[in-house]
């Protein structure tokens, strides 16, 4: 009868060379796996760690409010002048600022100028101060100046203020006397003087012959008329005009009260003079 030994005896062992190659292959595979795992997982783990840190930071960071524009305020206002006409190019505008913008470092007043035939254009920006009333220096252009202002808060601009008008006039008014003519003779003791000038011009007439003066004003069409008392003989009348802007001009009118040429004619009827002695001469007198 055949006798059996243990399990190892029943399975033949691989040759020594084969076992050595197998062991080397397993070792090499382990090295490759170790290198792969250590080289690839490092960045992956780093990325996961960074992402987790960012997410955690967003959850725990203090929120920072984003910048927003301030709500727009009401429009400012510009004080109207007592007289729109002026001969001064440099003026000062009195601007009233809405109370909610007073003391706001981001608030400013922007002044616009509109000339005849042109659109409004920004001229000057002035920061808002700590009071609701502020003075803004401004330079006028010859002619009609329509001025408005707006309020800026941040990037928001208010509606424009009501229009304020200035008229820059630096030309003296032209005065033309139409009646009577210069150098005319007037038979009556007073005279009516009429003419034209700039509308609204104030007139003062002074007669140097008798120190008489009178004032008048041109109407909306520039026409004027006033009476003047004359003195016998030559009258020199100075008429001074001041227009609404404050410019002045004057003219002189010379008039003769009476006739330019005066004469007398003496007539008498024929008569005879008898005397003891004939006179050497005789004098006749005439009263005019």
What are residue 55's phi and psi, to 5 degrees? Answer: -65, -40
What pLDDT sits at residue 259? 72
d(CA 107, CA 155): 9
Q: What is the pLDDT along the chain (288 residues), one digit of tens a residue?
A: 434 343 344 444 545 555 554 665 565 555 444 444 455 445 544 543 454 444 434 434 444 444 445 555 689 999 999 999 999 999 999 999 999 999 999 999 999 999 999 999 999 999 999 999 999 999 999 999 999 999 999 889 999 999 999 999 999 999 999 999 999 999 999 999 999 999 999 999 999 999 999 999 999 999 999 999 999 999 999 999 999 999 999 999 999 998 766 666 666 666 666 556 655 566 667 666
d(CA 31, CA 12): 30
CB 200 within 8 A of CB 182: no
Q: Is 0.85 surpassed by the pTM of this model?
A: no
| Nearest to 95, CA basis, from 86, 87, 105, 107 | 107
- Residue 94 CA to its chain's centroid (Å): 11
Report the chain's C-alpha Rg in angstroms: 55
Strand partners, 241: 203, 249
Strand partners, 5: none
What pLDDT sits at residue 29? 58
What pLDDT sits at residue 22? 61
Q: What is the DSSP string of 168-189?
A: E--SPPP-EEEESPTT-EESSS
Element holding 54 (H helix, E strand)? helix 16-60
Cis status of the peptide bond prior to 180, with omega within 30 of 0: yes
């Amino acid at each position: 009868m055949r006798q059996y030994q243990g399990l190892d005896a029943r399975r033949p062992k691989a040759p020594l060379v084969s076992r050595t190659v197998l062991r080397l292959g397993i070792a090499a595979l382990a090295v490759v796996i170790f290198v792969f795992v250590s080289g690839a997982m490092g960045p992956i783990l780093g990325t996961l760690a960074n992402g987790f840190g960012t997410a955690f930071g967003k959850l725990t960071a203090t929120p920072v409010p984003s910048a927003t524009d301030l709500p727009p305020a009401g429009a400012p206002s510009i004080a109207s002048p007592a007289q729109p006409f002026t001969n001064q190019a440099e003026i000062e505008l009195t601007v009233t600022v809405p109370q909610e913008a007073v003391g706001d470092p981001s608030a400013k007043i922007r002044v616009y100028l509109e000339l005849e035939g042109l659109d409004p254009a920004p001229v000057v920006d002035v920061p808002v101060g700590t009071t609701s009333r502020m003075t803004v220096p401004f330079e006028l252009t010859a002619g009609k100046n329509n001025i408005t202002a707006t309020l800026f808060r941040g990037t928001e601009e208010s509606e424009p203020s009501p229009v304020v008008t200035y008229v820059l006039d630096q030309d003296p008014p032209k005065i033309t006397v139409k009646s009577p003519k210069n150098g005319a003779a007037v038979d009556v003791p007073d005279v009516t003087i009429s003419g034209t000038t700039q509308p609204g011009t104030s007139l003062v007439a002074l007669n140097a012959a008798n120190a008489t003066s009178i004032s008048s004003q041109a109407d909306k069409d520039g026409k004027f008329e006033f009476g003047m008392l004359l003195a016998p003989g030559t009258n020199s009348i100075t008429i001074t005009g001041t227009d609404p802007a404050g410019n002045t001009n004057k003219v002189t009118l010379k008039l003769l009260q009476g006739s330019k040429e005066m004469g007398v004619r003496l007539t008498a009827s024929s008569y005879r003079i008898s005397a003891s002695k004939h006179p050497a001469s005789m004098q006749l007198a005439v009263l005019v």
